[in-house]
Amino acid sequence: MKKILIMSIILVFVATGILVAKEKGLLDKLIVMLTQKSEKKEEPVKKEIATDILDMDGFIVSVVKDGTPVASMELSFKIIMTVEAKTELNLARSQIRARMNAMIYDYLDKYYKENMDLADMKKYLIEQLQRVYGKDKIIDVLYAFYYIRPAA
């Protein structure tokens, strides 16, 4: 009998506490807090893009100053692109090579006329390749000057 009386008193206190909390709006806040903690926050899944590299070697460029060739340099490029783009563009390798050759000469022409920085060539090539082949396909361009030799 004592246990039933104690349980009844506890139940009355709990019910009174719930009613007071509901009246003050605290019950809703408590429910929100409890549900937020129990739910796992799902982070957006970052979709990784499968990439591949298209090697473009052996671009020999003459450096011309005041209309006369002063040196030659060999450039090598690695075009980082999506796997789908590599499959598509690998078939048109000679076309890409011709376009890149034109882009390089165009850039070097601007470089000498407008005193551009040679380091901007990467940005220029990326912009041009993305314009031609699609922004979502071309990711980056890495390049290296193999050597510069005096013009013969």
CATH number, domain with residue 67: 3.30.479
Q: Is 46 among the domain residues?
A: no
Which structural domain range is residue 92 located in?
51-150
**67-121 per-position pLDDT tens digit:** 777 777 778 888 888 888 887 777 777 788 888 888 888 887 777 677 666 667 7
The torsion defined by the Cα of 94, 99, 101 and 103, in degrees rounded to 10, comes to: -160
Torsion of CA 36, 40, 44, 45, to 10 degrees: 180
Q: Is the predicted pLDDT of residue 140 greater than 80, yes or no?
A: yes
Q: Is position 45 within any domain?
A: no
The per-residue pLDDT for 80 is 84
CA distances from 84 to 9, 56, 127, 143 (A): 72, 18, 19, 22
pTM of the model: 0.55
Q: Is 81 found in the same domain as 27? A: no
94 and 128 within one domain: yes
Give the chain's domain count.
2
- Identify the H or E element spanning 8: helix 2-24
Domain for residue 43, yes or no? no
Residues 31, 55, single domain; the answer is no
Which residue would you say has higher pLDDT here, 13 or 126?
A: 126
Q: pLDDT tens across 2-56, in order?
A: 778 788 888 787 777 777 767 777 767 767 776 775 555 666 666 677 778 878 7
Residue 138: is its pLDDT beyond 80? yes
Residues 30 and 63 both lie in one domain: no
